[in-house]
Amino acid sequence: MLGYLDLFSGASGDMLLGALIHAGARLDDLRSGLARLPLTGYTLEADEITDRGIHGVRAYVRLDESLPHARRKLADVRTIIEAGELPERARNQALVIFQRLAEAEGAIHGISPEEVTFHEIGAVDSIVDTVGVALGLDVLNVDALYCSELPLTSGRARSSHGPIPVPAPATLELLKGTSAVWRPVPGEGELVTPTGAAVVAALARFERPAMRVIATGYGFGIRALPWANCLRLLVGEAPGAAPTREPDGFERDQVVVIESNIDNMTGETLGWLMERLLETGALDVSYTSLQMKKNRPGALLTVIASPDSADGLAEIILRESATLGVRMRHSERLIAVRRIETIETPLGPARVKLKQAGERIIAIAPEYDDVRALAATHGLPLVTVAARVTDAARRRFGLE
């Protein structure tokens, strides 16, 4: 699925959450996902409202003011997110967003990202906003996010350091170097918050995609403005990109294969590049050993991408690796459907991956992280636990 953010009145964490809920992400699903975080002292609420003839949702985080809200560094926020057993894509996106926030704050204050102490952006409500947005995108199965121009206002905003200019320095730092375009609009006050800027800077491409619109959502902010203070989310499919089901139960779709020969990057930087590409939406990333000119060892980078995300991934490779060029080709792919289920086993609950041809399950594989955790808990070899989980799954789904 594609998502397009129309930021005609700016962006904030609560506006993004409201738009996702209005577009079809169930509030209960977001609450359930957020409840996995080791985080307390808040409730996530949402109200339906109509303003200037536009109907939508206003989401907000209600804090328990009787509880202290600790200031946190990036490592603290990362620990909270990683401990939450979130869907992999949502977890990675939330981590990337907060990494971008820390880098921006660090650049403003002249310190490293790890030294940044989060104030406004590190409060409970911002953690909930950020993780909630990542969960909402995952619930709606948005694989590629796009963003419009941003409204540029003036004036001053309040912060823990005193009055600051609008847009906030962190907001400008987050969007600096991206292809975001600021569109001057009359009026004063902050329309694009650092949290909103971090989401679009980390996850979105600043262009308008061709798409078949399936759902729309309007997320409202708190401020009263002369216009409807909301952002609009369009969710849809790329023309011709929807998989077609084959007679044997498999599916066929189109992908772009991106390749490049690299011989002047260390193992650490190659690993970092792989993580960056996967976080940005690559379907798969791999390296193959090569023997290159002057007998230097090298690596063939291969990236599989959806057609709508291929250009952005190619730009990342060119910008953030040592290569001078990439090869791109469109390819047809025959794929099996995959889903993940949690089952009960004699050793405890575990997730398993089900490979399907249509409705028929043709293979089962236990989730490694769950197998590793059960092996550590019971003091058993990993292969023994994997076999027991697989046997339990085969019985559960009638494959004996």
pLDDT tens across 233-290, in order? Answer: 999 988 765 555 555 667 777 889 999 999 888 889 999 999 999 998 999 999 999 8
Residues 184, 377: Cα–Cα separation, whole Å: 58
> Do 191 and 255 belong together in one domain?
no
Domain C-terminal end among 203, 237, 271: 237
Residues 258, 269: Cα–Cα separation, whole Å: 18
- pLDDT at 132 (0 to 100): 94
> Do 304 and 174 belong together in one domain?
no
> CA nearest 281: which of 93, 30, 13?
93
The answer to whether residue 361 is domain-embedded is: yes
> Do 211 and 69 belong together in one domain?
yes
> Do 363 and 330 belong together in one domain?
no
Region 159-176: mean pLDDT is: 79
Please tell me what DSSP assigns to residue 204: E
Domain at 304, CATH number: 3.30.70.1380
Please answer whether residues 133 and 61 qualify as being in contact, where contact means their C-beta atoms are separated by less than 8 angstroms. no
> Do 342 and 382 belong together in one domain?
yes
Residues 145, 235: Cα–Cα separation, whole Å: 9
> Do 305 and 353 belong together in one domain?
no
The answer to whether residue 362 is domain-embedded is: yes
pLDDT in tens, 81-94: 988 888 888 999 99
Given a cut of 90, is residue 384 above it in pLDDT? yes
Domain C-terminal end among 282, 312, 335: 335
Residues 117, 131: Cα–Cα separation, whole Å: 19
Task: Compute φ and ψ for 314, nearest 5 degrees.
Answer: -65, -40
Range of the domain at 311: 251-335
Number of C-beta neighbours around residue 241 at 10 A: 18
pLDDT in tens, 325-370: 999 988 878 888 888 889 999 999 999 999 888 778 888 999 999 9
Region 369-381: mean pLDDT is: 94
Residues 78, 234: Cα–Cα separation, whole Å: 30
- pLDDT at 397 (0 to 100): 86
The answer to whether residue 244 is domain-embedded is: no
> CA nearest 173: which of 122, 93, 106, 111?
106
Number of C-beta neighbours around residue 277 at 10 A: 22
> Do 267 and 213 belong together in one domain?
no
Instruction: For residue 315, name the pLDDT band (cuts at 50, 70, 90).
Output: very high
Instruction: For residue 37, name the pLDDT band (cuts at 50, 70, 90).
Output: very high
User: What mean pLDDT is reported for the chain?
Assistant: 87
Number of C-beta neighbours around residue 396 at 10 A: 15
The answer to whether residue 246 is domain-embedded is: no
- pLDDT at 247 (0 to 100): 54
The answer to whether residue 119 is domain-embedded is: yes
> Do 304 and 233 belong together in one domain?
no
Task: Return the structure tokens found at 346.
Answer: 């004699």
Number of C-beta neighbours around residue 15 at 10 A: 34
> CA nearest 207: which of 5, 9, 8?
5
> Do 79 and 127 belong together in one domain?
yes
- pLDDT at 216 (0 to 100): 93
The answer to whether residue 243 is domain-embedded is: no
Given a cut of 60, is residue 195 above it in pLDDT? yes
Does residue 136 or residue 158 have the better pLDDT?
136
Residues 185, 175: Cα–Cα separation, whole Å: 18
Phi/psi region, residue 41 (left: phi>0; alpha: psi -120 to 50; beta: rest), is: left
- pLDDT at 162 (0 to 100): 67
Instruction: For residue 223, name the pLDDT band (cuts at 50, 70, 90).
Output: confident
- C-alpha angle with apex 299: 298 to 300, nearest 5 degrees? 135
The answer to whether residue 172 is domain-embedded is: yes
- Name the range with the highest mean pLDDT among 66-80, 195-209, 325-339: 195-209
Domains of the chain: total: 3
> Do 166 and 130 belong together in one domain?
yes
Residues 85, 373: Cα–Cα separation, whole Å: 12
Region 385-390: mean pLDDT is: 93
> Do 368 and 262 belong together in one domain?
no
> Do 214 and 266 belong together in one domain?
no
Predicted TM-score (pTM) of this structure: 0.60
Sequence-separated (6 or more) residues with CB below 8 Å from residue 32: none
- pLDDT at 35 (0 to 100): 92
The percentage of residues in the chain with a pLDDT greater than 90, rounded to a whole number, is: 46
Task: Compute φ and ψ for 128, nearest 5 degrees.
Answer: -65, -45
Task: Return the structure tokens found at 293.
Answer: 């000119």
Region 96-119: mean pLDDT is: 84
The answer to whether residue 71 is domain-embedded is: yes
- pLDDT at 333 (0 to 100): 82
Given a cut of 60, is residue 60 above it in pLDDT? yes
The SS3 assignment for 147 reads strand
Task: Compute φ and ψ for 2, nearest 5 degrees.
Answer: -105, 150
